[in-house]
Each structure stands twice: as structure tokens, then as C-alpha cells.
Structure 1
């Protein structure tokens, strides 16, 4: 079982400027909606950080549908310019879903972001990916990709003193009750768990390893009917966008591009 807690922040350290980079998970899809507003794990973490430092400012540059190269090209320079003392970099899931996937290429982009952000004094945190085959049975062929990418993320993070929230070893994060109906994004409960995991990795007060523990009762299993509904309702539209060369992030901008006080 992997465990990468060598770069945990010293407890008691507070942050004044938090900048989040990434794709839909960091944008907050699955936690709220585009009408009422998205929350997500990064917003939830910012709320906790603001309790420790009411002067905290927070920017979220993440945009859904982005590949790791997109995040590097579009979000890194603005993030560096904001001079954060805490930054999160989470990307790569969209890459794993593409036919031509290279863990080395994806981590090359992630490592460039790690280097640039730590280079301006930011403490950087990242997250490994869970066993997608346990979340979605039809995604089991992606397991080798997940393992390869996670191993590369751990190695790159170690080279730059980046804190890794290693979710993969813990089956609890794959419980269907933490995932939205599309099985690609965490739901509100799942985003809260991710925020708890990051808070624990950063050594925030009152944060513990409870996020690793499974539910006391087993989750309901999938059926042929639920799989058919998922195929028709989520996988088919996603494949259609790919065939058309479109992304869910086309025409979208960051929801919180400027570092603002948390309120």
C-alpha cells in the first residue's frame, strides 16, 4: 500500500493566498450546478483555510474538460503571477480517457507546473486517482493507465517537495455514494471527502484520516438496467462530443480567476 505523507505541511502553518488549477473536479462539477453555482472540494478547502486566516484570498482557475497540457498552457502563467503560498494541481483524468494516452507526457506537464509553482514559493498539493474500475465497471480497462499515472505523479511530486494526497490505496473513495450519476465526478459528499483528505495532508487543525475509512454499510450494487442507463445518459453523449472534436470546457472561463477573500 502506497503512503506519501513525507511532504506534509507543519501543523499550525496558515496560508494567505490559495490558487487552484485543474479541470472539472477542481471546478466543482457534481457539487452544485451551473444555475445555483458550483462548490467543489477546492471551495470547501478554501473555507477551512479562511477559518484559520480570515485574510485568505482564493482563486480557482480550473475549467472542465481540460487536458493536463491545457491546464499548463492556460492556467499556469496566471497562477504564477498571483504568487500563491498554496496551490493545488489536479489534472490527468481527461487524458486517461483519450485513445492516445501517455503517462509520461501527462506527468511532464504536471511536473512543469510543480516546478514553476514551487519556484515562486508556493506549497503545492496534488491528488492521485482512485481505481476507476471500482467506480465504473466498464472502465476496468483503464486500470493500468491509472496505476502508471499515479506512480509517475508520486515520483514527480517527490522531486519537487509536493504534497500528495494518495487516494488510490483506499477503496472507500470508490464507494458509489460519493460519486455523481455520471460516475466521472464526485458528488457533494465526495467533494467534502476530497477536501477532508487534502486538509489532512496539509496538517490542518481538526483534520484526520477519517476520509480513508469505508461506510459502515455496503453500497448497493449495479444492475444491467443501471449500466444501460449510464451508457445512454452519460457515456454516449461524451463519445459524441469526442467524435465532434468538442469539449465540455469550450467557451468557458474560470469561475474565480481573481484572488478574492473567502466569504
Structure 2
């Protein structure tokens, strides 16, 4: 039986106790970009995980999501980690570093050192912190060259998690997201179904049996994973060139964006 000990108690992956409060920190992945909700606000895997946790908890489950798209690791550490420490929830998911890895010349060794320092701070007030690895980009031609850097960073994150007794949300090994249908048309963010698959895997990591398996086979769809040259050109015009332009201007998609749930507030499960 694996026991994770934090500032407010301990958690077992075999017989987990219901979690009463959860805070998500990170970038666009955790904000939920690519998974629009009915109210126009992005939902995403963290919101979906929060609903699963709320179903298991007694009345009064509380949830905060501090993630903001475009944030680099140091911005997350400066802006979100102190707030998460202040909220002191039982559970935090800490996904950060992906936007840094996309930058030329980024150093995964140095990133991991800064991540570990922030994790150590979080564990002074947070019960359990879930460490999130990066995705495998083998099936994404324009991002394939980043695989080595992502793998190096992931190796550090797993070692960090081992040193601090933290559970790991291993996205590299999640085979379901290797299907193109798991990704939004911008090829950088998950689709609604991709977010749902990640939420199911996160539930498994926390010892919760999800409604469906995260690796449930995709329905047959001939040609779904293939893209034509015309598709690639459209994607480059619509998404790649604007992204490069923002980098050159020193802008971020998250400029002027605020966290969607900055406080630990009650979260009600949908009516049946």
C-alpha cells in the first residue's frame, strides 16, 4: 500500500479517503483550453476530476482552479503557488513547464530544480500534490524534436515525486492521447474527449475507479489520424504563425486573463 504524507494528513492509493478540497495550478492544459463549457468558460480535465471528487465527498466539497493559459513555470510559481499555499487544500495538481519546454534553449534540468523548490513549498500546507509529466509528442511532426527534452524533464519530475512521496499523473504513458482525436484543431491543446481521458487517468492515480477507462479504444474512424498537406497549411496559417508572432512580440495568450476559480468554492455535482 502506497502512502503519501503531506502537511495535513496522509493519502493511500489503495484505500483513499474522500477529498474535501482541491486546487489546480498550471497553464492552458489545466485551465481547460480546448474544452469549452456550456457557459463559454473552458472546463477541462481538472474541472472534470473535481466533479468526480465531489461525487465521493460529503457535502461541502470545495474546488479552485488557478491555472492561466500561456503561463511559464516561474510565473506559476510566483502567482499560483503562494495562493495555493494560502488556500491549503487537501489536494493540489501541479502541472507546469510545458510552455518553457516549447521555448528554444530551455534547460529541463534547471526547470526541474525550480519545480522541486516550488513543490517543497506547497507541501508545507497542502496534504497531497500530484506531479504531472509531459505528453509524448512522437505523433506530432512539428513537436517531435522536443521528445528528448520532454523525456528528460519527465525523468526529473518522476524522481522529484519519488523523493517527496507524491503521486504522478503520467501523461507520457497515456496511450489514448496518441490519437489525433484527443487534440483540438490547434494541435497544442486537448479536445473535450482528450480532457475527459486525462481526468479518468487522474482519478485512477488517486485510487478512484473512473466511470470509463482512460485507455478505452477509440471507435473506428478510417483516416482520422491522417492529415493532408492542405490541413497542415491551414493549421500553420491559423495557429502556428500567430503563435510565432506572439513569441516575437513578447506577448502571451494569457495576457489579461484571470484565473477562472481563484477561491475554494463549493462545487455541486450536476443534477441527474
User: Which consecutive unaligned segments of at least 5 residues does structure 1 have?
Assistant: none
| Map of 2:198 onto structure 1 | 194
Contact 2:21–2:264 (8 Å) recurs in 1? yes
SS at match of 2:213: helix
- Shift of residue 184 of structure 1? 0.8
| Map of 2:76 onto structure 1 | 71
Q: Cα 1:126–1:188, aligned 2, differ >3 Å: closer, same or farther?
A: same
Contact 2:85–2:126 (8 Å) recurs in 1? no
- Residues 250-261 of structure 1 aligned to structure 2 (within 5 Å): 250-261=255-266
Contact 1:114–1:157 (8 Å) recurs in 2? no
Given the alignment, which residue of 153, 164, 170 partners 1:166?
170
| Map of 2:242 onto structure 1 | 237
| Map of 2:34 onto structure 1 | 30
Given the alignment, which residue of 146, 151, 158 partners 2:155?
151
| Map of 1:211 onto structure 2 | 214
Given the alignment, which residue of 17, 21, 25 partners 1:17?
21
Please tell me whether residue 140 in structure 1 is matched to residue 155 in structure 2: no
Higher helix share: 1
Please tell me whether residue 130 in structure 1 is matched to residue 138 in structure 2: no
**CA–CA distance in 2 between the matches of 1:87 and 1:121?**
7
User: Which consecutive unaligned segments of at least 5 residues does structure 2 have?
Assistant: 5-11
Segment drifting more, 229-238 vs 120-129: 120-129
Please tell me whether residue 99 in structure 1 is matched to residue 100 in structure 2: no
Q: Give the TM-score normalised by structure 2.
A: 0.88
Runs of 4+ deviating beyond 4 Å? 5-8
**CA–CA distance in 2 between the matches of 1:141 and 1:42?**
28
